[in-house]
Chain A
Amino acid sequence: MSGVFDWAEGLQWFFMLYFIGINGGYLMLNLLSLGSLKRYIEAHSLDDLPRGISGFEPPVSVLVPAYNEEATIAGSVRSMLQLNYPDYEVIVVNDGSKDGTMDALRREFALLPFPEAYWQRLPAKPVRGIYRSTTHPSLRVIDKENGGKADALNAGINAAQYPLFCGVDADSVLERDSLKRVVEPFLEDPRTIASGGTVRIANGCSVDNGFLTRVGLPRNPLALLQIVEYLRAFLFGRMGWSPLNAVLIISGAFGLFRKDVVVEAGGYRSDTVGEDMELVVRLHRLHRTRGIPYRIVFVPDPVCWTEAPESLRVLKNQRVRWQRGLSESLTMNLGLLFHPRGGVAGWLAFPFMAVFEWLGPLIEVAGYLFMITAFVLGVVSGEAFWTFMLVAFGFGLVLSVSSLLLEEMSFHIYPKPSQVAVLLLMVVVENFGYRQLNSLWRLWGLLLWLSRSKAKWGDMKRTASWQTGGGGMR
Chain B
Amino acid sequence: MRLDTGLSALPGHAAAEFWLPQDPLLALVFQTGLAIVACSLLMLVAVFLLRLRLVLRQRRERRYAAQWQPLLAECVFGVPGTLPRVPPGLRYHFLKLWNHHHESLEGGARDHLKALAVAMGLDRAARDMLRSRDLRLRLIAIITLGHLGDRQCWPELRALVSDPSPVLSLAAARALLDIDARATLAWLVMVMAAREDWPLARLAAMLKEAGPDRVTAPLVAALEAAGDPKQAVRLLRLMEIAHTGRAGEAAARAVGAASDPEVIAAGLRLINDPREIELARGCAAHGTWFVRAGAARLLGRIGGPEDRQRLVAMLADTHWWVRYHAARALIALPFTSLEELEKVRGTLDDRFAADMLAQVIAEARAS
Task: List B contacts of A395 (CB < 8 A).
Answer: 33, 36
Q: How far is the CA of A417 from the CA of B55 in the complex (A)?
A: 8
Contact B21 A387 (CB under 8 A): yes
Which residue in chain A gives the minimum CB-CB distance to B230?
A: A190
Inter-subunit contact B103/A382 (CB<8 Å): no
Contact of A54 among B21, B43, B202, B367 (CB under 8 A): B202
Residues B43 and A405 in contact, CB atoms below 8 Å apart: yes
Question: Of the candidates B47, B50, B104, which one forms a contact with A50 in the assembled complex, judged by CB atoms under 8 Å apart?
Answer: B104
Assess whether B205 is in contact with A54, with CB atoms less than 8 Å apart.
Answer: yes
* Distance (whole angstroms) from the CB of B141 to the closest CB of chain A: 11
B47 pairs with A404, CB closer than 8 A:
yes
Determine whether A447 belongs to the interface, using a CB cutoff of 8 Å to chain B: no
Q: Which residues of A contact B136 (CB under 8 A)?
A: 42, 45
Interface pick from A8-16, A62-70, A196-204, A312-320: A8-16
Residue pair B17, A382 in contact (C-beta under 8 Å): yes
CA distance A83 to B336 in the complex (A): 37
Closest A residue to B143 using CB positions: A46
**Set of chain B residues within 8 Å of A206, measured between Cβ atoms:** none
- Bound Cα distance A417, B47 (Å): 10
- Is A177 part of the binding interface, using a Cβ–Cβ cutoff of 8 Å? no
Which residues of chain B in 184-202 are interfacial with respect to chain A, using CB atoms and an 8 Å cutoff? 196-197, 199-202
Q: Are A187 and B202 in contact (CB under 8 A)?
A: yes
Residues 263-299 of A, flagged 1 when their CB comes within 8 A of B and 0 if not, give 0000000000000000000000000000000000000
A174 interface contact, C-beta 8 A: no
Contact of B39 with A398 in the complex, beta carbons under 8 Å: yes
**In the bound complex, what is the Cα–Cα distance between A396 and B302 (angstroms)?**
67
Q: How far is the CB of A31 from chain B (nearest CB, A)?
A: 13
Q: Is the Cβ of B5 less than 8 Å from the Cβ of A114?
A: no
CA gap between A409 and B7 in the complex, in Å:
47
Residues 365-390 (chain A) with a chain B CB within 8 angstroms: 375, 378-387, 390
Give the docked Cα–Cα distance between A381 and B20 (Å): 12
| CB neighbors of B among A41-64 (8 A) | 42-43, 45-46, 48-57
Q: Within the assembled complex, what's the spacing in Å between the Cα atoms of A402 and B23? A: 31
Q: In the complex, are the beta carbons of B29 and A49 less than 8 A apart? A: no
**Residues in A neighbouring B143, C-beta threshold 8 A:** 46, 49
Closest to B22 in A: A383
Contacting residue for B205 out of A43, A52, A380, A397, CB 8 A: A52
B356 within 8 A of A: yes
Point out the residues of chain B lying under 8 angstroms from A378, CB to CB: 5-8
Whether A424 contacts B34 by the Cβ 8 Å rule is: no
A384 and B196 in contact, given A187-B201, A395-B36 (Cβ under 8 angstroms):
no
Chain A residues with Cβ below 8 Å from B286 are: none
**A187-B96 CB under 8 A given contacts A54-B208, A117-B355, A387-B26:** no
Instruction: Answer yes or no: B68 CB below 8 A from chain A CBs.
Output: no
Across the interface, do A382 and B14 meet the contact criterion of CB distance under 8 Å?
yes
Name the A residues within 8 Å of B171 (CB-CB).
46
A408 within 8 A of B: yes
Q: Is the CB of B205 within 8 A of A420?
A: no
**Least Cβ distance of B191 to chain A in Å?**
17
In the complex, the answer to whether B204 meets A49 with C-beta atoms within 8 Å is: no
Of A132, A381, A394, the residue contacting B37 (CB under 8 A) is A394
Q: How far is the CA of A204 from the CA of B247 in the complex (A)?
A: 55
Q: Is B103 a contact of A49 with CB atoms below 8 Å?
A: yes
- Stretch touching chain A among B121-129, B155-163, B265-273, B358-366: B358-366
Q: In the complex, how many angstroms separate the beta carbon of B48 from the nearest chain A beta carbon?
A: 8
| CB neighbours of A39 from chain B (8 A) | 135
Residues on the A chain within 8 Å of B285, using CB:
none
| Docked complex Cα distance between A386 and B19 (Å) | 8
Q: Does A434 count as interface, using CB distance less than 8 angstroms?
A: no
Cβ distance B76 to chain A, nearest Cβ, rounded Å: 16
- Per the 8 Å Cβ criterion, residues 138-188 of B in contact with A are 139-140, 143, 166-167, 171
A383 pairs with B26, CB closer than 8 A: yes
List of A residues within 8 angstroms of B139 by Cβ? 42, 45-46
Is B2 interfacial (CB 8 A cutoff)?
yes
Q: Is A29 an interface residue (CB 8 A)?
A: no
Chain A proximity mask over B1-29: 1 for CB below 8 Å, otherwise 0: 11111111000001001111111001001
By the criterion CB–CB under 8 Å, are A386 and B356 in contact? no
Partner of B36, one of A132, A188, A391, A420: A391
Check B359–A382 contact: CB distance below 8 A: no
Q: A46-B140, A115-B359, A404-B47 are in contact. Are A390 and B204 (CB under 8 A)?
A: no
B64 close to A (CB within 8 Å): no
With beta carbons under 8 angstroms apart, the residue of A114, A119, A379, A404 that contacts B320 is: A119
Residue B32 is within 8 A (CB to CB) of chain A in the complex: yes
> B204 touching A417 by the CB < 8 A rule?
no
- Does B249 count as interface, using CB distance less than 8 angstroms? no
B6-A117 in contact (CB<8A): no
Q: Please name all residues of chain A whose beta carbon is closer than 8 Å to the beta carbon of B44 when the two chains form the complex.
A: 401, 424, 427
Contact B47 A405 (CB under 8 A): yes
Give the CA-CA distance A387 to B208 in the complex, in Å: 65
Q: How far apart sit A132 and B364, CA to CA, in the bound complex (Å)?
A: 13
Q: Does A20 have its Cβ within 8 Å of any Cβ on chain B?
A: yes
Q: From known contacts A42-B136, A383-B26, infer whether A57 and B14 are also in contact, taking CB-CB under 8 Å.
A: no
Nearest CB in chain A: distance from B209 CB, A: 7
B-contacting residues, A408-430, CB 8 Å: 408-409, 412, 417, 420, 424, 427
Q: Assuming A117-B359, A398-B36, is B26 touching A384 (CB within 8 A)?
A: yes
Q: Are B352 and A117 in contact (CB under 8 A)?
A: yes
Closest chain-B Cβ to A23's Cβ sits at a distance in Å of 8
A381 lies within 8 A of B4 (CB): yes
Cβ contacts under 8 Å, A380 to chain B: 3, 5-6
- How distant is A45 from chain B, measured CB to nearest CB, in Å? 4
Q: From residue B279, how far is it (CB to closest CB) to chain A in Å? A: 25
Q: Is B310 part of the binding interface, using a Cβ–Cβ cutoff of 8 Å?
A: no
In the assembled complex, the Cα of A349 lies from the Cα of B100 at a distance in Å of 42
Residue B40 is within 8 A (CB to CB) of chain A in the complex = yes
Q: Which B residues lie within 8 Å of A393 (CB)?
A: 37
CB contacts (< 8 Å) of B100 on chain A: these are: 48-50
**Chain B, Cβ-Cβ closest to A386:** B18
- Cβ of A432 within 8 Å of any chain B Cβ, yes or no, is no
Report Cα–Cα, A378/B8, bound state, in Å. 9
Q: Does B323 contact A (CB under 8 A)?
A: yes
B244 at interface by CB-CB < 8 Å: no
Contacts of A390 in B (CB 8 A): 30, 33-34, 37
Chain A residues lying within 8 Å of B362, measured Cβ to Cβ, are 114-115
> Once bound together, how far apart are the Cα atoms of A9 and B2, in whole Å?
8
Given contacts A56-B204, A114-B362, A383-B20, 6 further A-B contacts (CB under 8 A): A45-B139, A187-B202, A382-B14, A387-B29, A387-B30, A387-B33
**20 A-B Cβ contacts within 8 A?**
A45-B139, A51-B103, A53-B205, A56-B237, A117-B356, A378-B5, A378-B6, A380-B3, A381-B4, A381-B17, A382-B14, A382-B17, A382-B18, A383-B21, A386-B30, A387-B33, A390-B30, A401-B44, A404-B47, A427-B44
Ordered nearest first, which 8 A-B pairs have the shortest CB separation?
Answer: A382-B6, A378-B5, A390-B33, A54-B205, A54-B204, A187-B199, A394-B36, A56-B201
